[in-house]
Amino acid sequence: MAELINNDYNEDNIRSLDWKEHIRLRPGMYIGKLGDGSSPDDGIYVLLKEVIDNCIDEFVMGNGKKIEINIKDGKVNIQDYGRGIPLGKVIDCVSKINTGGKYDSKAFQKSVGLNGVGTKAVNALSSHFLVQSVRDGEMKVAEFNGGNLVKDHPIEKTNLRNGTMISFIPDNSIFKNYHFLKEFIIEQVWNYAYLNAGLTLEFNGEKYLSKNGLHDLLSHKSDVESLRYPIIHLKGEDLEMAISHSNAYGEEYYSFVNGQYTTQGGTHLVAFKEAIVKVIRDFYKKNFEASDIRQSIVGAISIRVQEPVFESQTKTKLGSQFMWPEGPSLKGFIMDFVKEKLDPFLHKNPQVSEALLKRIQQSERERKDMAGVRKIANERAKSANLHNKKLRDCRCHFTDEKNPNYIHSTLFITEGDSASGSITKSRNVESQAVFSLKGKPLNCYSLTKKIVYENEEFNLLQHALNIEEDIENLRYNKIVIATDADVDGMHIRLLILTFFLQFFPEVVRKGHLYILETPLFRVRNKQETIYCYSDMERQLAIQKLKGKPEITRFKGLGEISPAEFGTFIGENIKLEPVILKGDMKIEGILSYYMGKNTMERQGFIINNLKIEKDIVTPEIDPLAPINENAESEI
């Protein structure tokens, strides 16, 4: 007879955790997902943000015009030149939950970190945490490990400038195999610069400064030459906006609350989009479709409010309920601002209003032309029986980003029966899906979106992703391109990248697109097997295993057995994020890699193939010393 479950429930079952134990046990409550640094919203970047937010709040209150950020070998140092934490409260401010100066609204009227949690979470989740505060010739330092105070330095005299410095190393027992990607940090730093005119941020010696706020942001993020009219930049006391229209597909928005980049938008972004549509309809006295007005728009909004309430501690989405001063609602406030600023601007700038009208009319024509094609394509997708023919779906669907499991949902895009077969057999059927391409996809550079519906591969792919209309209902958080490590595989990778950049750039900009890294070599003896992702790793493995281990070179995904594939797409999966740097222009990227420059593109492919370089590199003595001075992540 099966053993009965003990259902006793008494005082012994009740346990109280102190602040640091709770944070370490449930880090997701405080910083969202953990991750390894391959995604811009991974936990290590949230730790970085929590510290910088405090520095920004000092600047907003008129204290300190420079913030220094240095990251090397996984260690972070952040220095501001504000007032410095009051010396007698330094330890409390970084180690006592719900403790801070921001509960006093007089001291911090419109700051980001109002919950008294931020630096405490950083402290608890770091294997090393040091805080230093300087005020009026005196300095206080305290050191922690995992939130535990390990050294309380006495207050001493100093000649250092006023300010606060925090140093920390994320705990690698929590953030496993983490690495900082400088591209993500640079974008984070730029966002702080755009929202805080006059503030200089210095990251690893490079200075970042913005004079024109959101105008600079859109100039930095967009290909200015492709904009249909000059950026409209409007500012008020607590609200700033910038908009233009481009030739690209989709909508692109950047929204901020009290300097916080709300990547998931919220009530302010919804109101902003509605306000633009209403004001433009009223200006032209025509009831345009909202989608025609917003098609190809690039916009940014920054608002400062008292006591904002976000939907989570990571503050990526502004909630619908928060304290708002007497007067119009938040929606009304934004609507009034856009009407008062945008309407007269369009009247005073007829060239801009004419260009805007032409862009809307073009979108209107394209939508009507696409209606019949889209209907036929949708019917074709249904008759093709997508889920049997092309897509090996996962069991769970995570289209709702509030679902904590959404972060694990992944679609692998691969080519060929052998490669897709290996991944399909070894994947996690709960959260990993596989879409199999048939041969090389079409080079869609410079083609219109009509081709997405007319081409069977593209049509079925967009249906699998559920992005026919927009990416709001994207069915998978991660889209992973999995191709062979040879010339054909690299070419297919570029063709898939072109598809997303040409028609669905938001997928890339929002960090959903990745490249699967698979090992190039397997080095093994009877006792141990080591998978190597580079020639240097192969050499190190040979040295470690000694003797004459068996060395296998994987030239294609189909050569990796399903049993081995499970190792590479499970907990130890290595993903290379596809990152659009701020100064990268999509049109220029596509023109270079997919335009009429065959020899240049061929050179790029060959020079960026790890396996091809290994083939032409002379054999290296496996016992020779290894040069480990290669450039690495910060």
User: In the β-sheet with 297-303, what is the strand arrangement from edge to edge?
Assistant: 232-235, 239-245, 297-303, 252-257, 260-261
- The 3-class secondary structure across 79-132, one letter per residue, is EECCCCCCHHHHHHHHHCCCCCHHHCCCCCCCCCCCCCCHHHHHHHCEEEEEEE
CATH of the domain at 296: 3.30.230.10
Let me know whether 151 and 246 are in one domain.
no
CB-based contact 59:199 (threshold 8 Å): yes
pLDDT computed for residue 491 by the predictor = 82
Asked whether residue 5 is assigned to any structural domain, the reply reads no
* Calculated CA dihedral for residues 473, 388, 425, 532, nearest 10 degrees: -60
CATH of the domain at 133: 3.30.565.10
Let me know whether 488 and 591 are in one domain.
yes
CB-based contact 479:413 (threshold 8 Å): yes
φ, ψ (nearest 5 deg) of residue 77:
-125, 125
Let me know whether 319 and 446 are in one domain.
no
pLDDT computed for residue 604 by the predictor = 61
pLDDT computed for residue 376 by the predictor = 77
- Please list the rounded mean pLDDT of every run of 10 residues in the chain (634 residues): 53 66 83 84 90 89 92 94 92 78 47 62 94 95 94 95 95 90 92 91 95 91 84 91 90 86 83 94 94 92 77 61 58 90 95 95 88 75 63 71 69 83 86 87 83 85 84 87 81 88 86 88 90 88 89 82 81 83 65 64 58 33 35 49
Q: What's at 284, amino acid-wise?
A: Y
For CA atoms 343, 344, 346, 350, the dihedral sign is positive
pLDDT tens-digit series, residues 118-148: 889 999 999 999 999 999 999 999 999 999 9
* Calculated CA dihedral for residues 53, 54, 56, 61, nearest 10 degrees: 140
pLDDT tens-digit series, residues 578-603: 887 665 666 667 766 666 656 666 66
pLDDT computed for residue 16 by the predictor = 63
pLDDT computed for residue 251 by the predictor = 87
Asked whether residue 606 is assigned to any structural domain, the reply reads no
Let me know whether 281 and 309 are in one domain.
yes
Let me know whether 297 and 425 are in one domain.
no
pLDDT computed for residue 107 by the predictor = 41
Distance CA(94)–CA(90), nearest Å, equals 7
Asked whether residue 101 is assigned to any structural domain, the reply reads yes
Let me know whether 358 and 421 are in one domain.
no
Asked whether residue 264 is assigned to any structural domain, the reply reads yes
Let me know whether 157 and 257 are in one domain.
no
Estimate to the nearest angstrom the gap between the alpha carbon of 360 and the chain centroid: 30
Let me know whether 105 and 91 are in one domain.
yes
Q: Cα 195–197–202 angle (5° rounding)?
A: 85
- Cβ-in-10-Å burial (0-12, 13-18, 19+) of 129 comes to buried
Let me know whether 356 and 431 are in one domain.
no
Let me know whether 444 and 319 are in one domain.
no
Domain ranges, residue 35 = 19-208
- Cβ-in-10-Å burial (0-12, 13-18, 19+) of 82 comes to buried
Let me know whether 423 and 475 are in one domain.
yes
CB-based contact 523:549 (threshold 8 Å): yes
Longest dimension (CA), the chain: 85
Number of domains in the chain: 3
Model-level pTM? 0.77
**Nearest CA-CA partner of 388 in 428, 436, 432:** 436
pLDDT computed for residue 122 by the predictor = 93
Alpha helix segments (H runs only) across 550-597: 562-568, 586-594
pLDDT computed for residue 265 by the predictor = 74
pLDDT computed for residue 26 by the predictor = 84
pLDDT computed for residue 415 by the predictor = 82
Q: Where are the beta strands (DSSP E) in 268-334?
A: 297-303
Let me know whether 319 and 433 are in one domain.
no
Asked whether residue 590 is assigned to any structural domain, the reply reads yes
Distance CA(12)–CA(26), nearest Å, equals 21
Query: What residues does 114 pair with on adjacent strands?
Result: none
Q: Where are the beta strands (DSSP E) in 367-409?
A: 391-392
Asked whether residue 428 is assigned to any structural domain, the reply reads yes
